[in-house]
Amino acid sequence: MKERVYFSGDTGIHEDTRVPFYCGSRQPNCDYHHGQLPPVKGAACYQVTRANRTHPEWDDGVGGTYKHGADLAYWNGCFYLHYFTNPVSEHTGAGQSILAASKDGRQWEDFQVVFPVYRIPACTVTDYKGNTNTFSGDTHAFIHQRMGFYRTKNDRMLLLGFYGWSPKPWVTNWDNYGIGRVVRELYRDGTMGPIYFIRPCWQGGWAREQLLYPLYTEAQDRGFAECCEELLRDSLAVQQWAEENGDADGLIRIKHPEGGTNQAFCWYHIDEKTVIGLWKHSRCARSNDGGETWSPVTVSPSLVMSGQKVWAQKTADGRYAMIYDPTLESTHRWPMCVTTSRDGIAYEDMLLVHGEVPPMRFGGFWKDWGPQYMRGIAEGIERPDDAVWIAYTVNKEDVWVARLPLPVTGEETEERIRDGFADFTIYSPKWAPVTVVSSHLLRLADFDRYDYAKAERVLHEAEYQEICFTVIPHQDSYGTLYCELQDGKGQTAVRLVFREDGMLCERTTALVPVRRYQAGEEIQIRVTADCVNYSYALQVNGREVGRKRFMTAVDSISRFVLRTGAPRHTPTREEVSSEDPSYALEQADEKEREAVYDVTFFQADSKSFCKPRFT
């Protein structure tokens, strides 16, 4: 099959009008959460919040089961994550936004309310469309925003949010349904200044005396007011306000020609003058004068996406990364992937970032499955130079961050791996954490009945693999650990299972017991896998167990996977999420007994054959 090549725009001697396109050979199979795509080597996904209706103190202290719109910043040596939450559903309830902080991007414990619940005062307003709306004083606004941070040139950090209301849950709180955009300062010690309105939605019919917070122009701190004015003059930053403010706002330079909205703007510079703009639904535009003027917003059809947002940026190694869900579906949003580019236009080499979709634990209106609404650290805010960091939500109820080490790659070039647990790819929920304790200890723990811990090592792809690893299970009457060798699509050739009844098993045509294990016992395992003959030899604590056939015939092996649960095949693309606000999975808010597995040794040797297969 020939590789498809896409051209977008004029590539002649005239002004360059090219916008991004995808020219890689991979497309995901969305019948699988991981899309059958190879993972980013060394990537790490960390859960920041796990929604909990019963025990909010185990989460962010609020108790909302709808969380979305995450934004990320790195400032003053600390990561900050800003997201909004509603009690149950999208566009309903008493919404508020939360700020979390972390020194390393892995452990997030410092949560505080940024913009609290906003009770709309008893009043009557008439918007610019002539609609009259009366509020009783018992109505609450909810929050929606595309951006949460702005760093000024003199290194002050602003926090942004947007309050609005909706007559129906399927109506967004934009334009005439908006109340206004609010701002406050984040200080260096992690505390925050007073709340002000930076851009009220006057078109909604609100009068100054009906607003619960003062205007920024009324602030005693003139330096703060100047920071707000700097933001208002930054056309790229305020383009992120397009949906809530409406295109009629003079701040919005890139307008929709048909009166609609270009949604969830992000941008990056290729050079001082060349700026690329991206939106949901594969939309792109280009500026060749630093953002003063723009080409028409067009669809780049090779960028397969729907309404899940897209994020792209220039990376510290001089390349470019674009993160999105390459699916045409809008309610089943998986997998989350990254493509990379040398020039910021032609993107290739699609790799998996987040390929896990746990059950949706709570019902609610407009809750979509999967990892979505990804946002990185915007231009103008400091970025760590060793990795790309992304914030996003899963199932619109949990908030996550991902770290993609630079350079972004899915390949291992070394045939002999002797570096311990460096470069393991990690999936680490709050209640199933994966921790690299030291170069000699990888720990997988699990007390989440609806998710699991996962760690995998990308191997040099080969037909022959010899894997040696040591596991110490801390229990022998509960908990499960799967140890697998997989090919590049995630098909399992070899599977060993530390079962919950204290039995170590291997999976051939069925799950076959190998030997008993005890809590605290050191289990040394050697697996020699042969893809020419579709078979493997197993050795446990120096004892030969014998040679068995693969559970799945694969032509090569490129991944070693550890996982504290069985493979996950649901939700499927046919399943519909519950909109019942009372729906919740059984004991979703309660912890299970913790199972812990320590991996104290790992090494791998890869080799390819040049001989024909046996028949």
* DSSP helix/strand/coil, 298: strand
| Domains with residue ranges and CATH for the chain | 422-607 (2.60.120.200)
HSE at residue 168, side-chain half, CA atoms within 13 A, is 2
pLDDT per residue over 223-272, tens digit each?
Answer: 999 999 999 999 999 999 999 998 889 999 999 888 778 999 999 999 99
Q: What is the pLDDT of residue 4?
A: 41
The predicted-structure confidence for 443-478, as pLDDT tens digits, reads as follows 999 999 999 999 999 999 999 999 999 999 999 999
Which of 280, 357, 349 lies closest to 321 in space, CA to CA?
349
Contact 452/432 with Cβ under 8 angstroms? yes
Whole-number Å distance between alpha carbons of 364 and 358 = 16
Q: List C-alpha distances in Å: 562 to 118, 430, 484, 528.
A: 45, 17, 7, 17
- Which tokens is 405 given? 């080490």
Residue reference for tokens 């709050």: 430
Q: Using 50, 70 and 90 to split pLDDT, how confident is the model at 575?
A: very high
How far is Cα of residue 359 from the mean position of the Cα atoms in its chain? 16
DSSP for 42-67? T-EEEEEEE--SS-GGGTTSS--SEE
Nearest to 566 by CA among 520, 510, 509, 497: 497
Distance CA 61, CA 147 (A): 23
Pairing of strands 424-428, 44-50: parallel
Average the pLDDT over 31-59 and give the result: 98
Give ∠ CA 111-181-298 in degrees, rounded to 5.
105
Give the Å distances, CA to CA, from 182 to 34, 177, 488: 38, 15, 47
How big, in percent rounded to 5, are the helix, strand and coil portions of the chain? 5, 40, 55
Cβ contact 71:147 at 8 Å: yes
CB 453 within 8 A of CB 432: yes
Tokens of 218: 């009324």
Pair 329, 320: CB distance under 8 Å = no
Tell me what pLDDT residue 362 has: 98
Q: Residues 6 or more apart from 542 whose CB is under 8 A from it?
A: 524
> Per-residue pLDDT for 614 more than 50?
no
* Summary count for the chain: helices (H), strands (E): 3, 41
pLDDT reported for residue 439: 76
Alpha-carbon distances, residue 115 vs 104, 188, 193, 307 (angstroms): 25, 18, 11, 26
Burial code (b: 16+ CB inside 10 Å, e: under 16) for 246-260 equals bbebeebbbbbeeee
Range from 40-54, 186-200, 256-270, 439-453 carrying the lowest mean pLDDT:
256-270
pLDDT of 367 reads 96
Three-state SS annotation for 274-293: CEEEEECCCEEEEECCCCCC
Q: What is the mean pLDDT of the chain?
A: 95
- Phi, psi (rounded to 5 degrees) for 238: -80, -10
The answer on pLDDT for 615 being more than 50 is: no
Tokens linked to 401: 């961050």
Which pair of structure tokens corresponds to residue 502? 């204290």
In this structure, the strands spanning 21-22 and 346-354 are: parallel
Give the pLDDT band of residue 609 (cuts 50, 70, 90).
low
In single-letter form, the type of residue at position 2 comes to K
What is the rounded CA–CA span in Å between residue 503 and residue 516? 4
In tens, the pLDDT along 323-346 reads 999 999 999 999 999 999 999 999
Q: What is the predicted pLDDT for the residue at 576? A: 94
Residue-level pLDDT at 612: 52
For 21, 327, 535, 538, 609, the CA distances from 463, given in Å and listed in that order, are 34, 31, 11, 17, 6
613 pLDDT above the threshold of 70: no
pLDDT score of 62 more than 60: yes
- Tens digits of per-residue pLDDT, 479-508? 999 999 999 999 999 999 999 999 999 999
Whether residue 484 contacts residue 492, with contact meaning beta carbons closer than 8 Å, is answered with yes
235's enclosing H/E stretch is: helix 235-238
Confidence at residue 6, expressed as pLDDT on a 0 to 100 scale: 40
Query: Sorting pLDDT into bands at 50, 70 and 90, what band is 509?
Result: confident
Q: In 387-453, which ranges are E strands?
A: 387-394, 398-405, 416-417, 424-428, 434-438, 441-446
Closest residue by Cα to residue 223 from 159, 157, 147: 157
**For residues 253, 339, 33 and 413, what is the CA-based torsion angle, rounded to 10 degrees?**
-160
Q: How far apart are CA 251 and CA 335, in angstroms?
A: 35
Residue 608 pLDDT more than 90? no
Longest dimension (CA), the chain: 84
Could you give the CA distance from residue 424 to residue 436 in angstroms, rounded to a whole number? 9
Average pLDDT in the 162-179 region?
92
pLDDT tens readout for residues 6-27: 444 444 446 889 999 999 999 9
d(CA 574, CA 88): 23
Q: Please report the DSSP string for 570-599 in residue order.
A: -S-TT------TT-B-TTTTSPPPPEEEEE
> Within a 10 A sphere around the Cβ of 587, how many other Cβ atoms?
12
